[in-house]
Amino acid sequence: MASETIPITVEFTGGLEMLFADQRKHSLSVPAKDERGQAVTVGWLVHYLCVEVMKDPRKEMFVLDGHVRPGILVLINDADWELEGEASYALQARDNILFVSTLHGG
């Protein structure tokens, strides 16, 4: 069932939305399995967003050295992904994945 997909919501805030066509909220249908037949994870999603969704050339503002750039928090259903297994968390239908760029102005 290679065509099986799961619906998720991806959101960007703190200026990251500027890298994603100025759109804060993206409703996506992503494949349920990756190319090796494994359930897709948040780590897989980061790569997918970079390749499939992000049109802006500034990839390094989102992913640096293969990891989400320092200064970006990843939240799975409003909880720090470090509480949920980080990149290895397997995506579930209707998950909300929020990417927050830290602000420094004041």
Partner 1 sequence: MESASASAQALREQIAATEARLQKLKDELAQVEASDAARYLNGLSLNGGPVTPQNGSAKWPLLNEEYQRYGRQMIVPSIGIQAGQLRLKSSSVLIIGAGGLGCPAAAYIAGAGVGTIGIVDGDTVETSNLHRQILHSTSKVGMRKAESAISYLKSLNPNPTYIAHTEHISPQNAQEIVERYDLVLDCTDNPASRYLISDVCVLLSKPLVSASALRTDGQLIVLNSPPLPPGNEAGGPCYRCVFPKPPPAESVVSCGDGGILGPVVGVMGVLQAVEAIKIIVEGKLAPSPEIQEGLKATPTSMLLFSALSPQPFRSVRLRSRRPGCFACSKDSGLSLEGLQSGSLDYVLFCGLASSANVLTPEERIEAAEYAKIREREHLLLDVREKVQFDICHLDGSINIPFSAFQGGAKAENDGKVPTWLPESLPKEAPIYVVCRLGNDSQVVTRKLKESGLDSGGKRWIGDIRGGLKAWKQQVDENWPEY
**Binding flag, residue 38, partner 1 (CB under 8 A):** no
Positive or negative: CA dihedral 82, 61, 45, 12: positive
**Binding flag, residue 13, partner 1 (CB under 8 A):** yes
Nearer to partner 1, 37 or 106 (CB): 106
**Binding flag, residue 82, partner 1 (CB under 8 A):** yes
Alpha helices in the chain (DSSP H): 42-48
**Binding flag, residue 80, partner 1 (CB under 8 A):** yes
Contact 67, 59 (CB under 8 A): no
Total site size for partner 1, rule CB under 8 A = 31
- The mark string for 40-79 relative to partner 1 (x by CB under 8 A, - otherwise) is ----------------xxxxxx--x----xxxxx-x--xx
Beta pairing partners, 74: 99
Q: State CA 11 to chain mean position distance.
A: 8
CB 95: neighbour CB atoms within 10 A?
19
Binding footprint of partner 1 on the chain (CB under 8 A): 13-15, 18, 24, 56-61, 64, 69-73, 75, 78-80, 82-83, 98, 100-106
